[in-house]
Amino acid sequence: MEQKTNSPQTIICRCEDVTVEEVRALIARGYQTPDEVKRLSRCGMGQCQGRTCRSLLLQEISAATGREIKEIPMSTFRPPTKPVKLALLARARTEGEGGDRR
């Protein structure tokens, strides 16, 4: 289901506090792929890694450019794509090295 983001002050990316107005301004300046907008605004680079804002960003690009969402290239994903607690990584490293790290 497609949502409408009418107000310029509507937050698209909650993790990085990026508004519709900011995204629209970047698109108007010629940045018309999710990766371009992401690199300039950090939209999609927060803790959720774009899971909550990706579709809204694609809708804004589609509306501004007249392209179908399926024609817009997806943004790149880099590990970790889900938040990982540092304690988990530290524990895995310690266990993988035989336990005690002196």
Measure the CA–CA gap between 89 and 97, rounded to whole angstroms: 12
| pLDDT for res 65 | 94
Q: Where in the chain are the domains?
A: 11-75
d(CA 74, CA 21): 21
Q: What is the pLDDT of residue 48?
A: 85
- CATH number of 11-75, picked from 1.10.760.10, 1.10.10.1100, 3.20.20.140, 3.10.20.30: 1.10.10.1100
0.75 exceeded by the pTM? no
> Residue 16: which pLDDT band, with cuts at 50, 70 and 90?
very high
Residue range 47-93, pLDDT digits in tens: 888 888 999 999 999 999 999 999 999 887 766 667 778 888 888 77
Confidence of residue 3 (pLDDT cuts 50, 70, 90): low
Q: What's the residue count for the chain?
A: 102
SS3 at position 24: helix
